[in-house]
Structure 1
Amino acid sequence: MYVGVSIVLLAILFLSVGLAVTKGSVDISIGEVYEIIFYKLFHVGNEDILGSGAIHDVVWLIRLPRIILAISVGAGLSVVGIVMQAIVKNPLADPYILGVSSGASLGATIAIMFGLGTVLGSNAIGVSGFIGAFTVSMLVLVISNIGGRSNSIKLLLAGMALSSVCSAFSSFIVYFANDAQGMQTITFWLMGSLAGAKWQEISIIVPIILLGIIFFSTQYRTLNLMLLGDEVSITLGSNLNKYRHIYLLITSIMIGILVYSSGMIGFVGLVIPHIVRMVFGTDHKKIIPIASLLGAIFLIWADVLSRSIIKGTELPIGILTSIIGGPCFIWLMIKKTYGFGGKN
């Protein structure tokens, strides 16, 4: 079943890319889409027709980068959500649980309100969000190790404390800056968007996210053990503290990159892992690859909806994922047959 579902999801993902590129203000057939893609990748076809022109620009320069970014963000958030839930042994954990979202928000707020664009360039908000998210993640690690080795409870408490501090500083800066336009920019960024996708950034983002997913796919035994808790793992001769630190460092880099590229997109890293666990159980060997594929497909179509649901404008994708994800998560919570794994 697992192999069959994986093959089906891969086929759906491949088809979704072609179909999603056709959706928009300009009607393009799926045949034209794949002709342009194959020409750009393998130089197959007529250069005069496929190598330039309005359709080429819409497919290759605007829509396809956005869809590739959606795949990376959806897969990355889903896998990081699974890993975070194992690290803190909490089914309510999501990629932003350890204060990452508040750190990113503080970084973005500083960039907008203090005009850091002259220093960090045109993507100052994303760069500052990455710095804020990564800094908070590292501080969580440091604080959770004060007074003894960290564990899942200390990580959660440290994350909650730093999240409150970052939120307070963000509010403080916004209050005294009195900048209505800056407030609007921050709010829109925090809602998430894939509109700024460019091939130059994708060439960096995709390899990092892919390497992270591959790494965690090889760590399924340790992640399975984390669901049982530190006490059980010690009796089995394995100390999870070292692995927890390594995993948090890698997830922090992944989340920082995703925040940099798309802002804050909620519920993907919370709902997708639970849906996959409900069908395939709690074995990370199976659920990590499946969740990455399902998360990628979900975000592709969420992005298509976000730019087509209201004619003439684009709905921030974070709003849409929350509208979809909230009811789905409530439904999952009331399912009596569903279990998180380990000691429930």
Structure 2
Amino acid sequence: MKFSILLAALLISLIFSVRFGSVEVDTADILSEVGTMISQGHMGNSSSAMILWQIRIPRTLFAMLCGIGLSLAGLLLQTITRNDLADPYVLGVSSGASTGAVMAIIWGWFSFAGSGSVATGAFIGAAVSTGIVIAASGKSHNPIRLVLVGMGVSAFFSALTMMVIYGARHEAQVRSAMFWLVGSLSGMQWSDISFTAAGVLIMMGLVFLVRNDLDLMLLGAGEAEYLGLNLKHFQLFIILLTSAIVALLVSKSGIIGFVGLITPHMARAAAGPSHGRLLIFSSLIGALVMIWSDVLSRTLFAPEELPIGVLTACAGAPVFIWIVTHRYGEGR
């Protein structure tokens, strides 16, 4: 029942998302243009058709994919660290990815990857920052320690990013690099969708394959190893997987924080602790959160656009504070 409600909400949200923006498109026009595309195989000649097919629909689809990817990344990090506060943004993964991306843009690093140099830089930065956090946290089971280490790593990579930007010689490079610091879904194209969709679908498939191992992690590291899980290899696999998806998303949209923190908690409340169900519910809820965050970013100050990273931080920071004060207060 809950799954059906979420799926229906997602389908409705996809329709309404392409309607709102600096220029509002009527639902009847949306249905008409979709019908034209299905029947004739190409979009119409109206201004509404161009807005829908060239701007709104690619952007909405990317928001959905971004929500799924960030939500699953947060779920994986919270599981392997056994920490309700874990999130790609909080733990510095996103900051590391942005540093690598900015280095690729301004310094020309990772040029061996060709057109994928930005994504490659983001992946390397994300993997390095995640590895530092895990290594610096050691075997401590104190969740606050992990968060504090993550904040320190995030601050370091954020400062490093600003140093790289400050040393840029061209204004265009600075504008492009500053994009990574606030997050935005503007300018998304169909070419961005296919690559991102492939990455997110692969991630979903891999999470489904290791769902039982993730359930074992809920028992604790010692118990999971006793039951046959190779903890070091499994943690390395999760680090590489989360780094890859965060890097892919950051290379396209910049830093978008707290989505991976909020949505797994909402999914657990709806689906329970089993990761087979959490995979589905986290994906649906993450997609809904990002789609409506994007709608608000386009409409709150229309025709100007609010960076979506600013909006998610405003919504996510209070949730982060609530979790700290209610779950990790004195004596808990």
TM-score interval, normalised by the smaller of the two chains: 0.7 to 0.9
Q: Which residue of 1 aligns with 2:67?
A: 74
Shift of 1:316: 0.1
Q: Return 5+ residue gaps in structure 2 as ranges.
A: none
Q: Which residue of 1 aligns with 2:302?
A: 311
Q: Which residue of 2 aligns with 1:37?
A: 34
Q: Which residue of 2 aligns with 1:83?
A: 76
Q: How many percent identity over aligned positions? A: 38
Q: Which residue of 1 aligns with 2:284?
A: 293
Indicate how the Cα distance of structure 1 residues 285 and 242 shifts in structure 2: closer, same or farther if over 3 A, else same. Answer: same
**Partner secondary structure for residue 223 of structure 1:** helix
TM-score by length of 2: 0.83
For residues 1-58 of structure 1, give each alpha carbon's deviation from its aligned partner in whole angstroms, at most 9, with x where no partner exists.
xxx1111111111111111111123332223323323443xx32x679x533322111
Q: Which residue, out of 205, 228, 231, partners 1:214?
A: 205
1:200 aligned partner, one-letter code: S
Q: Which residue, out of 253, 257, 260, partners 1:262?
A: 253
Indicate how the Cα distance of structure 1 residues 144 and 193 shifts in structure 2: closer, same or farther if over 3 A, else same. Answer: closer
Indicate how the Cα distance of structure 1 residues 255 and 63 shifts in structure 2: closer, same or farther if over 3 A, else same. Answer: same
Q: Which residue of 1 aligns with 2:25?
A: 28
Q: Which residue of 1 aligns with 2:121?
A: 132
Q: Which residue of 2 aligns with 1:194?
A: 185
| 1:51 to 2:44 alignment | yes
| Alpha-carbon separation, structure 2, partners of 1:27 and 1:168 | 40
Indicate how the Cα distance of structure 1 residues 213 and 152 shifts in structure 2: closer, same or farther if over 3 A, else same. Answer: farther
Contact kept, 8 Å, 2:96 with 2:129, in 1: the verdict is: no
Shift of 1:175: 4.6
| 1:272 to 2:266 alignment | no
| Alpha-carbon separation, structure 2, partners of 1:138 and 1:189 | 17
2:232 aligned partner, one-letter code: N
Shift of 1:111: 4.4
| Alpha-carbon separation, structure 1, partners of 2:112 and 2:226 | 52
Indicate how the Cα distance of structure 1 residues 107 and 249 shifts in structure 2: closer, same or farther if over 3 A, else same. Answer: closer
| Alpha-carbon separation, structure 1, partners of 2:308 and 2:283 | 18
Shift of 1:140: 5.7
Shift of 1:151: 6.3
| Alpha-carbon separation, structure 1, partners of 2:11 and 2:130 | 38
Moved more, 167-176 or 84-93: 167-176
Moved more, 284-293 or 162-171: 162-171
1:135 aligned partner, one-letter code: I
**Partner secondary structure for residue 233 of structure 1:** helix
Contact kept, 8 Å, 1:103 with 1:129, in 2: the verdict is: no
Shift of 1:331: 3.9
2:20 aligned partner, one-letter code: K
Shift of 1:136: 3.0
1:268 aligned partner, one-letter code: V
Contact kept, 8 Å, 1:87 with 1:152, in 2: the verdict is: no
Q: Which residue of 2 aligns with 1:341?
A: none
Q: RMSD across aligned C-alpha pairs, in angstroms?
A: 3.5
Contact kept, 8 Å, 1:230 with 1:239, in 2: the verdict is: no
For residues 267-308 of structure 1, give each alpha carbon's deviation from its aligned partner in whole angstroms, at most 9, with x where no partner exists.
101111122223433221222211110111111111111011
| Alpha-carbon separation, structure 2, partners of 1:227 and 1:39 | 50
| 1:16 to 2:7 alignment | no
| Alpha-carbon separation, structure 2, partners of 1:145 and 1:318 | 25
Contact kept, 8 Å, 2:184 with 2:307, in 1: the verdict is: yes
Indicate how the Cα distance of structure 1 residues 330 and 272 shifts in structure 2: closer, same or farther if over 3 A, else same. Answer: same
Contact kept, 8 Å, 2:131 with 2:239, in 1: the verdict is: no
**Partner secondary structure for residue 161 of structure 2:** helix
Indicate how the Cα distance of structure 1 residues 136 and 182 shifts in structure 2: closer, same or farther if over 3 A, else same. Answer: closer
Shift of 1:311: 2.5
| Alpha-carbon separation, structure 2, partners of 1:179 and 1:198 | 25
